[in-house]
Amino acid sequence: MTTNRRHDIDALRALAFLLLILYHVGMYYVADWPWHIKSPHAAAWLRWPMVVVNVWRMDLVFLVSGVAFGFLSRGLAPLALIRQRALRLLLPLVFGMAVVVPYQAYAQGVANGLVAPGFAAFMARYLVGGPWPKGAFDGSDFPMTWNHLWYLPYLFTYSAALALLTPLMRSAPILRVRAAFTGLRRWRLLVLPALPLMLYTLVLAPRFPATHDLIHDWYLHALYFTVFLYGYWMGIDEGIWRELERLRGWSLALAMACIAAFIALRVTDGDAQIVVWASRVLRAAYLWTAIVAILGFAHRHLNRPWRWLDWANESVYPWYMLHQTLIIAGAVALASLRLGPVLEPAPLVAITLIACWVLTDGLIRRFRWLRPLFGLKPIGDVGIRTSEPLPKCLRMPARNGRKVGPWPSGK
C-alpha cells in the first residue's frame, strides 16, 4: 500500500494547535480582554503581542482544515462524507460539552460570584440544563456550553455545506474560478485573495461582532468559510504551493509592515472614520499576508517526515479538547501559591502540556472506547492513505531525492 502525505500540512496543523495553547495561557494574563477567568497579574503590554497572533491564528486553522477536507473528500459521496465528519466532529463535541468543558463554566461562575462552590453539585445541575443566573458563565443562557470547542460545529457546518455543494463545485464555472485562484502569481496572490477579507472586515465586522454561537456569527462565518474554501482549492495544486514558497520573504515583509501600521493606528486610538477604515483594511491585509508567509515557510522547511509527526497527528485532537480546561484548572491551583506574574506562567504552561500528554498518551490513545470520543480513528487506522498511487499530474515534485506526497492526515 502506498502512503502519500503532505508533511508540511500535518506539521503546520500540530504547531497551530500548540500555538493555541500558548495563546489561551496568554488570555489568562492579558488585561482588558474578557476570558473565563483572569489573573490578578493581568498586564496591558500583552495586548499587542496577542494581537499579532490573534488576527490570523484561527483563519490559518480553518485554511489548513480546508486543505485536509479536500483530501478527505476524495472518493466519498456527499452523504457518506457528512456522516464521517459528524462522527469525527460532533461526537467529540457532545462528549466535550458534557465532560471536558464543565469545569471551565464552574470556575468562571464561582469567580463571578454567581455559582456556589462545589463542583459535584454544579455538575448535577449542569447536566440537566441549569438554569443559571444571567451571565454566570459564557454560554449560561443555553443548557450546555461549548466554550473553546466552538471550532468543531463551525468546521462541521463548513464541511457539510461544501459536501452538499459538490455538484456545484465540480461545475465548469466554479472550476474556472478555482483555476483562476490557483493560477494567481506574484503580487496577485498577495492582494486578490485578501480583497474579500477586506470587504467582510469593512461591511460585516461592525454589524456582526464575534459571538461563537454559530447562529449570529456572520462576519466570522464569511471569514472562516472563505479561507476554508481557499484551502480546499489549494489542495494538491503544486503550482500555487511553489509560488507560496517563492513569495515567503515578500509576504513576511508585507505582513510585518501591515501589522506595524495597524498597531500604530490603534495606539493613536483615533475615532475618525478614515482611521477606522484604514485599520480594518490593514488588519485584513495582515491576515492574508501572514498566512501566505506561514504557508510558504512551512512548505519550504516542514515538508519532510519528521519523527514526531505521527505522534503529533494522533495527539493534536485530544490536546485541543483538553487544553483550555487544564489551563483553567492549573490557574486555579496555582493562584493560592501567589507566585506572581514572573514565576507563575511557566509552571502553568508546564502543567497544561504535561497533563495533556499524560491524559492523551496514558489514557485516551490506549482505550478503544475513548478514542472516538476525542476524535481519534480506530487503532491501526491513523492518517489518510490510498491503495493506489496518485496520477502523475497530481503528485508533488520530489525534493532532494525524496518524494513528497500531497496527502495530509487531519480532522
Inside any domain, residue 401? no
Inside any domain, residue 2? no
Number of domains in the chain: 1
Look at residue 394 and tell me whether its pLDDT is greater than 50: no
**Closest Cα partner for 27 from 101, 108, 100, 94?**
108
With a CB cutoff of 8 Å and minimum separation 6, the contacts of 189 are 240, 243, 244, 247, 292
Q: Which of 22-36, 219-233, 384-398 has the lowest mean pLDDT?
A: 384-398
Q: Assign 245 a pLDDT band (cuts: 50, 70, 90).
A: very high
Inside any domain, residue 225? yes
pLDDT at 66: 95
What average pLDDT is seen over the chain? 89
Distance CA(278)–CA(373), nearest Å, equals 45
Residue 88 and residue 135 in contact, taking contact as beta carbons nearer than 8 Å: no
Distance CA(328)–CA(174), nearest Å, equals 45
Inside any domain, residue 140? no
Note the helical H segments in 235-344: 238-246, 248-268, 273-301, 309-335, 340-343
Distance CA(328)–CA(101), nearest Å, equals 10
The Cα angle at residue 272 between residues 270 and 275, in degrees rounded to 5: 70
Distances (CA, A) of 317 to 152, 219, 296: 11, 26, 24
Distance CA(201)–CA(195), nearest Å, equals 10
Distance CA(6)–CA(236), nearest Å, equals 9
Question: What cell was used for 342?
Answer: 514572573
Distance CA(320)–CA(20), nearest Å, equals 8
Distances (CA, A) of 170 to 163, 173, 174, 343, 378: 11, 8, 7, 55, 32
Look at residue 39 and tell me whether its pLDDT is greater than 80: yes
Question: What cell was used for 336?
Answer: 493560592
Question: Computed over its alpha carbons, how large is the radius of gyration of the chain?
Answer: 22
pLDDT at 71: 87
With a CB cutoff of 8 Å and minimum separation 6, the contacts of 32 are 42, 44, 47
Q: What share of the chain is helix, strand, coil (3-state, %, to 5)?
A: 65, 0, 30
Other Cβ atoms within 10 Å of 294 Cβ, number: 22
Q: Is 344 exposed, middle or buried (0-12, 13-18, 19+ CB in 10 A)?
A: buried
pLDDT at 183: 93
Question: What cell was used for 241?
Answer: 504551493
pLDDT at 392: 36
- Can you give the pTM of this predicted structure? 0.89
The Cα angle at residue 223 between residues 406 and 143, in degrees rounded to 5: 105
Chain centroid to Cα 368, Å, comes to 26
Other Cβ atoms within 10 Å of 300 Cβ, number: 15
Inside any domain, residue 138? no
Question: What cell was used for 301?
Answer: 522547511
pLDDT at 76: 85
pLDDT at 383: 44
The Cα angle at residue 318 between residues 377 and 68, in degrees rounded to 5: 60
Residue 326 and residue 358 in contact, taking contact as beta carbons nearer than 8 Å: no
Domain that holds residue 373: 7-101+146-394
pLDDT at 411: 36
For 12-79, the DSSP string reads: HHHHHHHHHHHHHHHHHHBTTS--SS--TT-BGGGHHHHHHHHTTHHHHHHHHHHHHHHHHTTT--HH
Buried b (16+ CB within 10 A) or exposed e, 108-132: bbbeeeebeeeeeebbeebeeeeeb
Residues 37-66 have a mean pLDDT of: 95
Q: Assign 274 a pLDDT band (cuts: 50, 70, 90).
A: confident
Give the tens place of pLDDT for each residue, 129-154. 989 999 999 999 998 999 999 999 99
Helix (H, G, I), strand (E, B) or coil at 402: strand
Look at residue 53 and tell me whether its pLDDT is greater than 50: yes
Give the tens place of pLDDT for each residue, 329-385. 999 999 999 999 999 999 999 999 999 999 999 999 999 999 999 999 887 654 433
Residue 210 and residue 220 in contact, taking contact as beta carbons nearer than 8 Å: yes
